[in-house]
Amino acid sequence: MRSFTVNANDAGQRLDKFVSKACPMIPQSGMYKAIRTKKIKINRKRCEISTRLCEGDVVDIYLPDDMLVIPDKDDFTAASSDIDIIYEDENILLVNKPSGLSVHEDDRSGADTLINRLKRYLSDKGEYDADSEHSFAPALCNRIDRNTDGIVIAAKNAESLRLMNEIIKEREIDKRYLCITVGTPPKDSDIITAYLYKDEKTNTVTVSDRSTPANKKIITGYTVIGTNDGLSLADIRLYTGRTHQIRAHMAHIGCPLLGDGKYGDNRINRSRGMRSQALSSYGLTFSFRTGHGRLSYLDGKSFTISDNETKRLWDKLCGQVQPMRRGTEKK
pLDDT digits (tens, 9 = 90+) for 179-192: 999 999 999 999 99
Give the C-alpha separation, 276 to 60, whole Å: 51
Where do the domains of the chain lie? 2-67, 76-169, 173-318
Q: What pLDDT score does 327 carry?
A: 42
Say what the pLDDT of residue 330 is: 35
| Helices first, then strands: H and E counts in the chain | 7, 14
Give all strands of the β-sheet with 58-61 in edge-to-edge order: 2-5, 58-61, 40-42
What does the alpha-carbon distance between residue 118 and residue 139 come to, in Å, rounded to a whole number? Answer: 9
CATH architecture designation of domain 76-169: 2-Layer Sandwich (3.30)
* Angstrom distance (rounded) from CA 232 to CA 226: 6
| pLDDT for the residue numbered 326 | 46
Q: CATH number of the domain at 173-318, out of 3.10.180.10, 3.30.2350.10, 1.10.1060.10, 1.10.150.130?
A: 3.30.2350.10
Residue 87: what pLDDT?
97
Asked if domains 2-67 and 173-318 share a fold, the reply is no
* pTM score, whole prediction: 0.87
pLDDT in the model for residue 230: 93
Instruction: Give the model's pLDDT for residue 328.
Output: 37
| Residue 329: per-residue pLDDT | 37
Q: Residue ranges of the chain with pLDDT lower than 50?
A: 324-331
CA 50, CA 46: separation in Å to the nearest integer? 12
pLDDT tens per residue, range 271-316: 999 989 999 999 999 999 988 999 999 999 999 999 999 999 999 9
pLDDT value for 321: 57
pLDDT for the residue numbered 258: 97
Distance CA 66, CA 40 (A): 16
**What pLDDT is stored for residue 88 in this prediction?**
98
Report the 10 Å Cβ neighbour count for 74. 17
Residues 2-67: name the CATH superfamily. Answer: RNA-binding S4 domain (3.10.290.10)
The answer to whether 255 and 184 are in contact (CB under 8 A) is yes
**pLDDT at position 331:** 30
The answer to whether the CB of 57 falls within 8 A of the CB of 19 is: no
